[in-house]
Chains A and B, each alone.
Chain A
Amino acid sequence: ETGVTQTPRHLVMGMTNKKSLKCEQHLGHNAMYWYKQSAKKPLELMFVYNFKEQTENNSVPSRFSPECPNSSHLFLHLHTLQPEDSALYLCASSQDRSNQPQHFGDGTRLSIL
């Protein structure tokens, strides 16, 4: 049973749609992350939030917009995505210290038509 919950598990959307991915962690952690996992590529860190403040944005296109209303919830708002954005999007959380491992959610498998 994961302490990090992501919804939806699967999402199919057109390039003109707007949708949001949701992540919730029940571990009392202070840092949350969005990753993208594409086939045959390493996980790519997209965004980092520490105590609700964004501390990292790894040159992610503006069609991805994160939101962190509190340290337990993280959203990824999507609009006008491209086919190459189809991937598994993983949310993770950790304590605020850098040497703490991260706990991942099940991911949202996103397909852009």
Chain B
Amino acid sequence: RKEVEQDPGPFNVPEGATVAFNCTYSNSASQSFFWYRQDCRKEPKLLMSVYSSGNEDGRFTAQLNRASQYISLLIRDSKLSDSATYLCVVSPGANNLFFGTGTRLTVIP
């Protein structure tokens, strides 16, 4: 079983739409959770950390469900500039990160 699993998409949504991605992880002892964004042929960049109580950053909301071992990312009012691949990242600790394959989002004008 993969450490981190994501729906690869692609998700094609119109501007202004709300879109949600889910991600599941296999290690129940995982301690830290992140969403990264990767543009085509660029490096991954941290979008936001995911906290147990859920957290919001502008149009982005992240949720963590430890019991079901999944993480979600909600994007409201999608912009063209949101088009990218979104990587779910899970850390069991000890400087180790496990990446999902990413979910590709395209926002259409």
A residues apposed to B, CB below 8 Å: 2, 31, 33, 40-43, 45, 48, 50, 55-56, 90, 94, 96, 98-99, 101-107, 109
A and B contact pairs by CB, cutoff 8 A, 30 listed: A31-B95, A40-B8, A40-B101, A42-B98, A42-B99, A42-B101, A43-B44, A43-B87, A45-B97, A45-B98, A48-B95, A48-B96, A55-B94, A56-B95, A94-B95, A96-B95, A98-B31, A98-B91, A98-B93, A98-B94, A98-B96, A99-B31, A99-B32, A99-B93, A102-B97, A103-B46, A104-B44, A105-B43, A106-B42, A107-B43
Whether, in the assembled complex, B86 has its beta carbon less than 8 Å from a beta carbon of chain A, the answer is no
- By Cβ-Cβ distance, the 6 closest A-B pairs, closest first, are A104-B43, A43-B99, A98-B93, A99-B32, A42-B99, A101-B46
Complex formed: what's the CA distance from A74 to B2 in Å? 29
Known: A31-B95, A33-B95, A107-B43. A42 touches B4 (CB 8 A): yes
B residues apposed to A, CB below 8 Å: 2, 4, 8, 31-32, 34, 41-46, 49, 87, 91, 93-102
